[in-house]
Amino acid sequence: MPDATGPGSLSALRLANRQRLLLALTPGQQISQAELARLTGLAPATISGLVRDLVDEGQLLVRQGVANGRRSRLVERAPTRQRYGIGIDLGRTHVRVVAGVEPGEVLADAAAVLTDGLTPDTVVAAIGKLTAQVCDEAGLRTGQVTGIAVGVPAPVDAVTGVVTETAILPSLVGFPLRDEVSALLGRPVVVENDANLGALALARRAGAPRSVVFVKVGSGIGAGVAVAGQLLRGDFGSAGEIGHLALDPGLSVVCRCGRRGCLETVGSAESVRTALSSALQHDLSLAEVLGLIGDGHPVAVHVLEDAGELLGRGLGWLAMILNPAEIALGGPLIAAGDAWLRPVRQGFRRAVLPGVAARTGIIISPLGEATEAAGALIAGLSAAD
């Protein structure tokens, strides 16, 4: 008598059960696993195993939800050829990871502050932890992720994925970031400049103008330029490094690049923090600086206005060369809102021809703090097979 529990019989039974489960799910409908068991007549444990396999294959999605008044795992058919990606944004003190679906919809978002600073070890550990967290929240398994991109606040060689400018991100220069993240997550990875990714996210919005510049104002200042939805990187990956425009070579502050008068020494978030710390004779954190600005502290507001005007002047130089329709600002100072935007616009007006001033939109990025990570998601999905 043939063995009814042999591997051939089991797989045939399993195949039949899969078909029953899939037939019970109408596209667009979300139902709980308990309900699936009732509809198919299969045991709950069998349903769990089948759902796990089908999620791995990308045929089903599982989300947390409510069914019959109770929190449950809701199952639905995955739209056909749906592709999922992970976008990672590295700052000098933070890591942000988003999980999402093409063409770039964010499903889950998580961030962590790197209290020990940005080193290869802290970066890899944080990426692993946050990726697991967002995949869990989005109901994704890492096996379903097809595309991953990482944004870094430095110029990047687009071919090798290596940070190219030793003065800007010294702790990661020479570190094979792309290959290490790829080994960690088991998928191909793209590494890209973070400001470029911000520009990509903004350029792919519905109704975006033809040319968009995203300016990341953090410890440094970098601009990403997108024309007709495509990034302008330059031959060596350093297009848009406006933080090192020598705005005024007579300035006494020496930049970390070794030169004097760079825009980032007078217009970055870090320059606002150091200037205000010096004025108030107390070493302030950026959060404290933003708190004082929010409270309307007159010294803090004055320091921010000075920095904003100088930033606006630097953006004016950029606009006189590129003539973008829109310049969107990102980085921590966006929390200051109009108190920052107003002086930036004023400095810009003074640096450009009146027609350029009248027609260039200078705004705070509508995607807020997640702009760069949203761009990384798009870049990861675009690079996937």
The footprint of Zn ion (CB under 5 A) covers 244, 255, 257, 262
CB of residue 170 to Zn ion, shortest distance in Å: 14
**Residue 173: is it exposed, middle or buried by C-beta count within 10 angstroms (0-12/13-18/19+)?**
middle
Nearer to Zn ion, 85 or 243 (CB): 243
Specify whether the CB–CB gap between 349 and 355 falls below 8 A.
Answer: no
CB of residue 48 to Zn ion, shortest distance in Å: 57
For residue 190, the surrounding DSSP H or E stretch is: strand 189-193
Mode of pairing for the β-strands spanning 211-217 and 326-330: parallel
Nearer to Zn ion, 236 or 353 (CB): 236
Nearer to Zn ion, 257 or 328 (CB): 257
Q: What is the edge-to-edge ordering of all strands in the sheet holding 189-193?
A: 105-113, 94-101, 84-90, 145-152, 189-193
Cis link prior to 103 (omega < 30° from 0)?
yes
In sequence order, what are the beta bridge partners of 94?
A: 113
In sequence order, what are the beta bridge partners of 230?
A: 227
CA 22 to chain centre: 35
Nearer to Zn ion, 252 or 281 (CB): 252
- For residues 66 and 286, give the distance between their C-alpha atoms in angstroms, rounded to a whole number: 40
Nearer to Zn ion, 101 or 215 (CB): 215
For the chain, the helix, strand and coil percentages under 3-state DSSP, each to the nearest 5 = 45, 20, 30
What's the chain's length in residues? Answer: 385
CB of residue 378 to Zn ion, shortest distance in Å: 29
CB of residue 252 to Zn ion, shortest distance in Å: 14
What Cα–Cα distance (Å) separates residue 251 from each residue in 246, 278, 313? Answer: 9, 17, 15
**Region for 337 from its dihedrals, namely left if φ exceeds 0, alpha if ψ lies in -120 to 50, beta otherwise:** left
CB of residue 332 to Zn ion, shortest distance in Å: 20
DSSP letter, residue 58: T
CB of residue 271 to Zn ion, shortest distance in Å: 11
Nearer to Zn ion, 135 or 257 (CB): 257
CB of residue 171 to Zn ion, shortest distance in Å: 18
Nearer to Zn ion, 257 or 310 (CB): 257
CB of residue 158 to Zn ion, shortest distance in Å: 22
Mode of pairing for the β-strands spanning 60-67 and 70-77: antiparallel
Nearer to Zn ion, 87 or 314 (CB): 314
CB of residue 212 to Zn ion, shortest distance in Å: 25
CB of residue 267 to Zn ion, shortest distance in Å: 12
Nearer to Zn ion, 314 or 343 (CB): 314
Nearer to Zn ion, 262 or 351 (CB): 262
The dihedral sign for the CA sequence 309, 310, 316, 318: negative
Q: Which residues touch 118 (CB under 8 Å, ≥6 apart)?
A: 90, 91, 92, 93, 169, 171, 172
